[in-house]
Chain A
Amino acid sequence: MHRFANPGQFLRLSGAVLPWVSVGALVLTAIGLVWGLFFAPADWQQGDAVRIMYVHVPAAWLASAGYMGLAVCSVLSLVWRHPLADLAAVEIGPVGAGFTAMCLATGSLWGKPMWGAWWVWDARLTSVLVLFFLYLGHIALVRAFDDPVRGYRAGAILALIGVVNLPIIKFSVDWWNTLHQPATISFTGAPSMYLGMLWPLAFSTLGYTLAFAAIVLARTRAAVMERRIRGLLMARAAAQEPAP
């Protein structure tokens, strides 16, 4: 794993993978969204508002999955002190916050016609809002120190503390009596969803996941290059400085 985490090796590998991931993201997301918007059937109860699911569910999945990625980077940073994990964590934060905001906003846009309210203090909604604040806290904390390494360490600790929120989000619909419906799809059981709706959802979820990966890869590549530029400029400045 350390071999792939080497910045030079990372630039080579990510440079080869990034175009494929980007094209895959574009194609799969387009198929999923067009299928969901124009060809998937309307729900007998929700009507056409069910189409919001093809945006909302991938955003909700990536809000949690992105935070899990942030937590994994934090473990790598705290245990192995790997600089690439620090850079990846810094770059995941804003993207994860963006997708969490998208999840909350599309959930509101679904809630208004279905529940008659933009927002309810339901356990699922509130725990996702806490996740959004955790992302914002991480973004602010890693940039709050003059010494970036101290910022990375503080951010990693916050990210690991916040992991406790992920099972709360997942099981909130089972533990509490919530307005938000329970899970329709699980890794173990058969989905209780019509296949004509499940397929476009699978396409859009996979497409958005690849889009998230492509964005984080591109941002991390840029961060590695910017760090190299800073290092080279500092080395040049030190070489030009006259000896005392």
Chain B
Amino acid sequence: MTHLPFIVGSYALGVLVPAGFALAAFLRLGAARRRLAVIDPRARPRAGPRPRPGGAL
């Protein structure tokens, strides 16, 4: 009996289960970040480096 289907099945699970969790987690994180940026302006990411107080531009 060849073991190939069992090995392929195991590796498919080993890739798909963590990838599914990771994708769902990062999509949820992105959605939460966008929603928070809309509601709370302090949470918005800064576009560039913060200017130094009194520093020349």
Contacts and interface: CB of A to CB of B under 8 A. Distances in A.
Interface residues of A, number: 40
A22 B33 CA distance: 18
A124 interface: no
Contacts of A212: 18
6 contacts: A29-B18, A49-B6, A51-B11, A98-B17, A99-B17, A110-B10
A125 to B, nearest CB: 16
Contacts of B13: 55, 102, 105-106, 109
Nearest to A223: B32
Nearest to A54: B14
A113 B11 contact: no
A29, A105, A109, A233 — which one has the most chain B CB atoms within 10 A of its CB?
A109
Q: Is the interface of B mostly helix, strand, loop or mixed?
A: helix
A232 interface: yes
Question: Which interface residue of A33, A98, A219 has the most chain B CB atoms within 10 A?
Answer: A219
Interface residues of B, number: 28
Contacts of B28: 218-219, 222
B25 A59 contact: no
Nearest to A236: B39
Given A222-B25, A225-B33, A102 B14 contact: yes
B25 A218 contact: yes
Contact of A208 (B1, B18, B26): B18
Contacts, number: 96
A95 interface: yes
A215 B14 contact: no
A81 B4 CA distance: 50
Contact of B11 (A22, A33, A214, A215): A33
B3 A113 contact: yes
Contacts of B32: 221-222, 225-226, 229
Contact of A232 (B15, B22, B40): B40
A242 B43 CA distance: 28
Nearest to B34: A225
Nearest to A58: B14
A33 B4 CA distance: 15
A109 B22 contact: no
Given A112-B6, A225-B33, A55 B11 contact: yes
